[in-house]
């Protein structure tokens, strides 16, 4: 058994942190885990992607197009950008949230409309309004942990010690907030 998960977002959304938390919990559970990350212009709002492959034995962190079991997108356009990585029976978990890129901010190109409808028409899709949920918790930065909770539920891996991994990767003053965010994502 092995699973391939691709997480995508834009700089500042916590894509890499969510990946590290999940990887840590999987390693503690005894899985062989391989992880990679790409974040070229992430500090300027550019695309960020990471990959996790885990199972009894995994030889490479690289997920080829058409082979991801789950695509977790922290932003709508990133879901569309990386949709070709998902396998036919895979699942897309997408945050109902839009981040304008430089070209949309300058008005050169409008933000694409209908992304969520397109996803639902072409692949099994779980839409999460993580931005609103995080806002109700008082900190939009926990969108990533809400999405992580939704991913864990989709995988049926509620037994993983994600909260323990949060303690390892998040500053102590944010432990409780992140635990609550994770539990809310898990309830979706």
Give the number of other CB atoms < 10 A from CB of residue 157: 15
Domain ranges of the chain: 2-186
What are the pLDDT digits (tens) for 1-18? 899 999 999 988 999 999
pLDDT reported for residue 44: 62
What are the pLDDT digits (tens) for 146-178? 999 999 999 999 999 999 999 999 999 999 999
Asked whether the predicted pLDDT for residue 26 surpasses 60, the reply is yes
- Which pTM value belongs to this model? 0.94
Torsion sign across C-alpha atoms 110, 113, 115, 121: negative
Task: Name the average pLDDT for the chain.
Answer: 94
pLDDT reported for residue 157: 96
Ramachandran angles phi, psi of 5, nearest 5°? -125, 130
Q: How far apart are CA 177 and CA 166, in angstroms?
A: 10
Q: For domain 2-186, give its CATH number from 3.90.45.10, 3.40.50.720, 3.50.50.60, 3.40.920.10.
A: 3.40.920.10
Q: How far apart are CA 54 and CA 125, in angstroms?
A: 22
CA dihedral 6, 10, 13, 14 (to 10 degrees): 50
Q: Which ranges in 9-62 belong to alpha helices (H)?
A: 15-28
């Amino acid at each position: 058994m092995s699973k391939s998960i691709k997480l995508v977002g834009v700089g500042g959304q916590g894509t890499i942190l969510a990946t590290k938390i999940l990887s840590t919990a999987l390693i503690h559970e005894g899985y062989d885990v391989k992880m990679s990350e790409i974040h070229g212009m992430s500090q300027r709002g550019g695309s960020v992607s990471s990959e996790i492959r885990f199972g009894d034995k995994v030889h490479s962190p690289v997920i080829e197009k058409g082979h991801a079991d789950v695509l977790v997108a922290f932003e709508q356009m990133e879901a569309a950008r990386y949709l070709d990585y998902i396998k036919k029976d895979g699942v897309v978990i997408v945050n109902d949230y839009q981040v304008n890129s430089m070209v949309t901010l300058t008005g050169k190109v409008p933000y694409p409309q209908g992304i969520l409808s397109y996803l639902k028409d072409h692949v099994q899709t779980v839409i999460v309004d993580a931005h609103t949920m995080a806002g109700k918790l008082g900190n939009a930065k926990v969108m990533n942990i809400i999405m992580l909770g939704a991913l864990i539920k989709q995988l049926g891996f509620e037994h993983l010690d994600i909260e323990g991994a949060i303690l390892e990767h998040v500053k102590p003053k944010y432990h409780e907030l992140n635990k609550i965010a994770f539990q809310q994502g898990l309830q979706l």
